[in-house]
Amino acid sequence: MSIHIGAKQGEIADTVLVCGDPLRAEHIAESYLKDAFCYSNVRNMLGFTGRYNGKRISVQGTGMGQPSLAIYLHELTHEYGVKTIIRVGTCGALNQEIELGDIIVAQGASTDSNMNRLIFSGLDFAPLPDYGLMTAAIQEAEKQNIKVRIGYLFSTDYFYFKDDPKRWELWINHGMLCAEMESSLLFTMAAAAGVRSCSILTVSDNIILGKACSTEERESSFNDMMRIALNIC
C-alpha cells in the first residue's frame, strides 16, 4: 500500500491507463478488461487491473488537475514500479475546425500551472510525450482507420478560464489544438521517473464555439480512443 493507492505490491501492471474520473476507470475495466479486479478504493479514486488480449493492464483514476494527478503518478512510478502511462481523457477544442468527438494525440503540452516552475526552480521545461509511444498511437490509429489529429495541448489549472475566449488567443496563435488539465505534468513526471507516457484525448467540447458533445458522440469517440490506447499497451 502507498498513501493514496491501496494496492498490494504486484497488483498493478507495468502499463497503466490514467483518467481523471474514477468511474470512467471502472467503466474501462468493466467494458474492456478480462478478469478485472479493483486494487484500490482509497478516497474512491478507483484502480483496476485486468487483461486485454492476454496482456496485464491497469487503469487508475487520478482526479482532475495536475496536483491530484501528481500524487497518483508519484506513487505509481516510485512505489509500484510502473513503466508506461497512457492518459485517456477529454479536452476542449481551441479551433473551430476541430469537431466534437475528434481524437487528439498529444505532441507536447504547454501549461499555466506552476508545477513545472516549482520542479525546475523557475526555468522552463518542454513537456513532451515519449516519441515511440506517441508514434505507436498514431500508427495504431492509421491501422484501425481512425482519424486522429496530432498536435499541442494546453494543460490549464483553471477549467473556467474557458469562459474567457480572449485568454486563448495567444495560445491558439502558437498552435494549441485543445485545452485539458493534466498532460503537461504527466510528461514532466514521466521524464523524471524514466517511464514512457503519452496522451490520447477525445474532444468533449469546443471552447471557441461554446459547444459540447452529445452522449452518443461521447460514446463512439471514447470507444475509438480506447481501441487505440489498449492496442499500444
185 belongs to the binding site for ligand HPA (CB under 6 A):
no
- CB of 111 vs ligand HPA, minimal distance in Å: 12
Distance CA 66, CA 199 (A): 14
Residue (156 or 188) nearer to ligand HPA, CB: 156
182 belongs to the binding site for ligand HPA (CB under 6 A):
no
Residue (119 or 208) nearer to ligand HPA, CB: 208
Contact 129, 152 (CB under 8 A): no
Taking CB under 6 A as the binding criterion, the range among 9-17, 116-124, 145-153, 177-185 that sits at the site for ligand HPA is 177-185
State which of residues 156, 183, 188, 202 lies at the interface with ligand HPA (CB under 6 A). 156
Helix, strand, or coil here: 29? helix
66 belongs to the binding site for ligand HPA (CB under 6 A):
no
Distance CA 139, CA 96 (A): 26
| CA-CA-CA-CA dihedral for 76, 72, 183, 112, to nearest 10 | -140
Spot the catalytic one: 35, 102, 157, 205.
205
Taking CB under 6 A as the binding criterion, the range among 39-47, 132-140, 144-152, 173-181 that sits at the site for ligand HPA is 173-181
| 205: annotated active-site residue | yes
Q: Alpha carbon of 117 to those of 27, 101, 120, 158, 185: distances in Å?
A: 35, 33, 5, 17, 11
State which of residues 28, 82, 106, 179 lies at the interface with ligand HPA (CB under 6 A). 179
State which of residues 61, 92, 108, 129 lies at the interface with ligand HPA (CB under 6 A). 92
Judging by DSSP bridges, how do beta strands 148-155 and 176-180 pair with one another?
A: parallel
Distance CA 202, CA 91 (A): 6
Look up residue 192 and give its three cell numbers: 523524471
State which of residues 27, 162, 218, 227 lies at the interface with ligand HPA (CB under 6 A). 162
Distance CA 40, CA 222 (A): 24
205 belongs to the binding site for ligand HPA (CB under 6 A):
yes
State which of residues 68, 90, 95, 107 lies at the interface with ligand HPA (CB under 6 A). 90
91 belongs to the binding site for ligand HPA (CB under 6 A):
yes
Look up residue 157 and give its three cell numbers: 489549472
Q: How many CA atoms lie within 13 A of 44 on its CB side?
A: 4
Report the interface residues with ligand HPA, using CB under 6 A: 90-92, 156, 159, 162, 179-181, 204-205, 207
- The catalytic residue positions are 205
